Structure 1
């Protein structure tokens, strides 16, 4: 098993776990990951993000290989970079506490690095 495959598997597993948590327990996930107690509509948005992460993470982890795996790693890196920018915007609007934004951004940057390394190696 190559380093690229291991990194892609880690990226897929991370997305799959976060996705399943977001789908199954959106309020808990929002409180735990983002530090905010959501209103009911936020649960729907969390589930939407969870479905994205579950499907893409599962696809990367279980159903793709080679060039497809590299392309999906790049796509997930772009999604994670967008998530990091979204966290910064939410914080600047006062919708997310600064410490949570920093940890969310750090997690997104770590996932971007995993995807980028999987693509490059």
Structure 2
């Protein structure tokens, strides 16, 4: 299983009225890291022929992040079969190494020309092993 990581620092724009990271921002970070992982691994030919759509999203908040916190976002694909893939995201506070958020998303693989679900080919599945 291949893990993709990035870091981000909590900015004022990430905060809600309680001065901690807004729940919507975590959802955005989950989507952003999934897209970045896909774009890093997929070839131009694959990107031209296929895309993903989100089918289901489960997020669990285990802590909070505040202005200035340095966060590590980790993502990996745990399962790809048929037309769907399961992706996990974990967000940690780097200073405390505390897990503050987890997410599991289910994605559907789509053919760009037909706009219909299509079986995930081996060449795509192995990109995330």
- Return the TM-score normalized by structure 2: 0.28
**Which of the pair has more CA radius of gyration?**
2
In terms of fraction of residues, the more helix-rich structure is 1
In terms of fraction of residues, the more strand-rich structure is 2
Which structure exhibits the higher relative contact order, with contacts defined as CA atoms closer than 8 Å and separated by 6 or more residues?
Answer: 1
- Return the TM-score normalized by structure 1: 0.29
